[in-house]
Amino acid sequence: MKRIVLYDASAIDRPTREDLQQLARLRLAARRRGCDLVLTGVGERLRLLLAVTGLDEVFVISVEGEARSPTEARAEPGGECEEAEG
């Protein structure tokens, strides 16, 4: 079973090209470590931008209240994909 890296995107209020580039880099880093990146806290503007660019088909977007896998991790730029405890 793949491990999941959660990234809280709630701070991205007005998404820019740089935000999309950072998300793409995080996804690539997670994949290289054998993990899936899941975006949490995605606001309406970021969700719309992902849809318009077709990236909503690339990124996994968590829906509030959705059950999470018992093997999840937190995303930290440059960090390792490790299983979260608890």
3-state secondary structure of 72: strand
Task: Give yes or no for a contact between 20 and 53, defined as CB atoms under 8 angstroms apart.
Answer: yes
Residues 44-72: what's their mean pLDDT? 80
pTM over 0.85: no
Task: Tell me what pLDDT residue 63 has.
Answer: 83
Q: What percent of the chain has a predicted confidence (pLDDT) above 90? A: 69
Q: How far apart are the first and last CA of the chain?
A: 17
Mean pLDDT over each residue of the chain, to the nearest integer = 82
